[in-house]
Structure 1
């Protein structure tokens, strides 16, 4: 299956470079590009890409607002790609429902891998971001957060899947640990997100960390 990608960045040279990298990758096709968030939303509605590669700082509608709109409408998975390694952008992107967050310094092979992972329903975070999030979780989860609305509605298997997400496991790793197929894992992840009213598996992983479920896996 070919992964269809929309590239959103206000710098034409950067867009061109990203498009060249992705179009030269096996199994990926860039179907559109946008110079701002509003254009990205319009393009996504028309083209229905599997993944939108989204810059943060853009004129008019920025990448965070566009991500929130795209995810709310269920149009595409969003992988944020930015120059700015700032906590406020990371947290805002994840709260908006982004499936991943990478820096523009990422090597081409890693970018290609990340696009394919996000298209497959995985979450991707830059190593620098992951380390900081873990540190933040360690500080905030000494006393686990109260169980959010919907957590009690999860089945035992869904709680196990949620805990695995919090541990940073991929679908394949979750399937191996719980002795179930990847398709079944994807079904459980989808049900977890729906029951907890979450927009992405990254948000689910954060919740699992905050509530202590990740430590139970």
Structure 2
């Protein structure tokens, strides 16, 4: 396996590198100290997993995550000292596959890697115990599951609905007929379990706009 560690503290990078080498002896470790270099390394060296700190010079970890999540197969692990719902929510919305805090144990870090390797999302155990964070995570996952039912064209249509384009304007942008857009909207409402006869679709999109705008994992 190939790992990227992006953190502006050399001592922390060294400790994490040692831990990964012990847990995964045949792994390759790449180190970067700022967001810009980390982003370039993800695109050019294609690590299997990338540990990103949030506070880094230049681009922060959340910005890097947003840039690479939809354009790379690298699993993104936000590893930070922030253990609050706001940062967790931003990380998940930006496409992070896991969120760990720096006081997690080495065993949990290994557990995180194994979970991601099997296709799961991982959240630090200390955060999972928080009722507020738990609720936010459930809501995020529920919305993501619904969005995953949409095709690329339906997702594009949904995003344009959120920008308050009319069906005719959406048709012009997608190079299809207004009737086709109405069909897209009808199918979207059915998949999202919304009433197609009122403004429920627009209201739903505006309520979840940030998640929708960042969502790309569709058919």
**1:116 CA drift (Å):** 2.6
Superposed, 1:49-64 pairs within 5 Å as 49-64=47-62
SS of match in other structure, 2:50: strand
Contact 1:54–1:79 (CA under 8 A) maintained in structure 2: yes
Instruction: Choose from 83, 86, 102 the match for 1:85.
Output: 83
CA distance in 1, matches of 2:50, 2:35: 11
**1:109 CA drift (Å):** 1.4
Contact 2:17–2:29 (CA under 8 A) maintained in structure 1: no
Contact 2:89–2:136 (CA under 8 A) maintained in structure 1: no
- Structure 1 residues 198 and 28 mapped into 2: Cα distance closer, same or farther (>3 Å)? farther
CA distance in 2, matches of 1:52, 1:89: 18
1:36 alignment counterpart: 34
CA distance in 2, matches of 1:62, 1:37: 6
Instruction: Choose from 119, 125, 128 the match for 2:126.
Output: 128
Contact 2:50–2:77 (CA under 8 A) maintained in structure 1: yes
Give the unaligned 5+ runs of structure 1.
Answer: 154-196, 201-217
2:3 alignment counterpart: 5
Contact 1:22–1:30 (CA under 8 A) maintained in structure 2: no
**1:123 CA drift (Å):** 0.8
SS of match in other structure, 2:27: strand
**1:25 CA drift (Å):** 1.1
- Structure 1 residues 110 and 199 mapped into 2: Cα distance closer, same or farther (>3 Å)? farther
Instruction: Choose from 12, 17, 40 the match for 1:19.
Output: 17
Superposed, 1:1-217 pairs within 5 Å as 3-26=1-24, 29-130=27-128, 131=130, 132-136=132-136, 151=149, 198=215
Larger radius of gyration: 2
TM-score where L is the length of structure 2: 0.61
Across the aligned residues of Structure 1 and Structure 2, the Cα RMSD in angstroms comes to: 3.0
